[in-house]
Amino acid sequence: MAYYLGLDSSTQGLCALLIDAAGGKVVLEAAVNFGKDLPEYECPQGFLAHPDPLVKHSDPLLWAAALDLLLGRLRDQGAPLAEVAGISGSGQQHGTVYLGAEFATALDGADSLVEAVRPCLTRLTSPIWMDSSTSAECAEIEAACGGAEAVRRRTGSSAIERFAGPQIRKFAKAEPEDYADTGIIHLVSSYLCSLLIGGSAPIDFGDGAGMNLLDLASGQWDGPLLEATAPGLGKKLPPPVPSHRVVGEVAPYFQAKYGLAKGTRVVAWSGDNPNSLIGVGGWRPGTAVISLGTSDTFFAAMPQPVVDPDGYGHVFGNPAGGFMCLIAFKNGSLAREAVKEQFGLSWKAFDVDSFAATPAGNNGNLMLPYFVPEITPLVLREGPRYRGDQDFLAGKTPAARVRALVEAQAMSMRLHSQWIGEKPGTVRVTGGAAKSDGICQVLADVFDATVERLETGSSAALGAALRAAHGVGGFAWADLAATFCACVPGKSIRPLPAHVAVYRELLPRFAQFAREG
């Protein structure tokens, strides 16, 4: 029997999912929570405390410790590790790890991953995707490379605070000696992949595109951007490779300690969003994915790397080939919870009753739900804005406020995803709020697309396991998606033509309000 293992190192933990690809079954799952299981690293929510709220770093040793702990748990649970044929993984995007050149052989003869990595670190902490402290560096990089649009055209994104390039520049400027001592800079994904193969692993196109350094057209590091970012950077980055590439075999360390078989192949790791695209079955254009979480995200496979003229969306490599877009909205569950709390509503009152009590289009009552500063569109002055009748403005109609919020979230996603060119025929919705029929009906009507719902809780880990099965076992994407990413039967929601017409008319008015907002 050949099993495939997917690992997912997210902001707050590391989890594993083992599949039997031929049998079409998830065999087992296991997880480590950074705060609960490894409190000594002082990252209860996945990052270290820092007096500047814009700075968010984590401890790269924590991620190494978690890998040892998780594999130990799998072994102790009796997971058939000796029968694993292939492994791949997922890492939170954009985080960087700074190491000396000796990292490539650090695992030889080591007793633990932490002890192997510790002497190699040239920077003790790793900036992660939540860091937004590099606005100056973004401006410098854009100025040196012909402006935001030029950077966008080449890399798929404007220079973005959390992306690896601006973060590397900040380090090179602030600590030039430590930067000079740095022989290899890894992403979280390629760092953990390196540990598994006992060498320095390449960076895949999926995660590499989140660095402001990869030329999307050629799949190579972009010379002028490397130069604008930091001195000698080209020599410190691992080579970029397609995401399906087998990059090595598990190191003897993992054979001796956890019983993985010699010859177990490792497929390049990728970022959590590219992995999730695969894990929810969105590998080919036509199906978009909306993940309703703390932040909401919209992502979809794209045949061509078109870029967002407004600069909010990102283009990453699609692990199944081609490209994917990703658009993130900060006011997701955060805003839904704020409205629920404001009116003391139960989830039933929010999710069900509010939609029954109000019509599609909400009698023209509109909201811009900026409970926290928004990134898409960029709105720094927080606080929701309202437009509508007296009772609505006075907050006397809680159901209308709920509908206004959900319609605003859906219309904003529709407006800010139009640049990808293709209107999806199907939208797959995941995350906590996907259980609400009311929210899903609004999404179906605003997008004029069938909404399908998925049960997968760990889409990134599943995506990684499916990528291992594809890259090592040769399983076809269509077969893997049909088996592992089927939508929940009887839970799909079709658009209602009368509602579709209402939103078609409302959308320009909402767009105008958002522009004035």
Helix axis angle, 497-516 relative to 398-416, nearest 10°? 80
Q: Pick between residue 247 and residue 328 the one whose CB is nearest to ligand XUL.
A: 328
d(CA 303, CA 59): 37
Total residues belonging to the chain = 517
Q: Toward ligand XUL, which CB reaches closer, 272 or 445?
A: 272
Among 45-53, 106-114, 223-231, 266-274, which window interacts with ligand XUL (CB under 6 A)? 266-274
Instruction: Name the 3-class secondary structure at 443.
Output: helix
What is the footprint of ligand XUL within residues 178-237 (CB under 6 A)?
Answer: 210
Closest approach, Cβ 335 to ligand XUL, in A, equals: 18
Q: Quick one: which of 142, 161, 272, 452 contacts ligand XUL (CB under 6 A)?
A: 272
CB of 12 to ligand XUL, least distance (A): 10
Whether residue 377 has a cis bond before it, omega within 30° of 0: yes
Structure tokens at 327: 């658009």
The nearest distance, CB 393 to ligand XUL, in angstroms, is: 35
In contact, 320 and 287? CB cutoff 8 Å: no
Task: Return the SS3 of 325.
Answer: strand
Residues forming beta bridges with residue 246, ordered by sequence position:
267
The residue to which tokens 């790397």 are assigned: 305
273 forms part of the interface with ligand XUL (CB under 6 A): yes
Residue placing its CB nearer to ligand XUL in the complex, 38 or 375: 375
Instruction: By CB under 6 A, name the one of 46, 271, 279, 369 that touches ligand XUL.
Output: 271
State the nearest-atom distance from the C-beta of 328 to ligand XUL, in Å: 6
> Which run of H or E residues covers position 404?
helix 398-416
Q: How many residues bind ligand XUL (CB under 6 A)?
A: 13
Q: In angstroms, give the least distance from the CB of 210 to ligand XUL.
A: 6
Whose tokens are 């319609």? That residue is: 407
| CA–CA gap between residue 242 and residue 321 (Å, rounded) | 8
Residue 264 within binding range of ligand XUL, rule CB under 6 A: no
Nearest approach in angstroms of CB 441 to ligand XUL is 26
Q: Partners of 423 in the beta sheet?
A: none
Cα separation, 404 vs 294, in Å, equals: 19
**Out of 94, 265, 330, 467, the residue judged to bind ligand XUL by CB under 6 A:** 94
Cβ proximity of 399 and 353 under 8 Å: yes
Q: Which residue type does 107 have?
A: L
Closest chain position to ligand XUL (CB): 93
| Contact stretch for ligand XUL (CB under 6 A) within 184-192, 235-243, 269-277, 432-440 | 269-277
Asked if 92 is part of the footprint of ligand XUL (rule: CB under 6 A), the reply reads yes
The answer to whether 157 contacts ligand XUL (rule: CB under 6 A) is: no
- The Cα–Cα gap between 379 and 342 comes to 22
Question: Which listed range, 92-100, 217-225, 240-248, 501-509, lies at the site for ligand XUL (CB under 6 A)?
Answer: 92-100
- The span of 143-151, 174-182, 233-241, 271-279 binding ligand XUL (CB under 6 A) equals 271-279
Q: Does 318 bind ligand XUL (CB under 6 A)?
A: no
Q: Name which position in 88, 93, 264, 362 contacts ligand XUL (CB under 6 A).
A: 93
| Burial zone of 505 (CB within 10 Å; 0-12 exposed, 13-18 middle, 19+ buried) | exposed
Do β-strands 184-187 and 84-91 pair in parallel, antiparallel, or remain unpaired? unpaired
Binding site for ligand XUL (CB under 6 A): 11, 92-94, 129, 162, 210, 271-273, 314, 326, 328
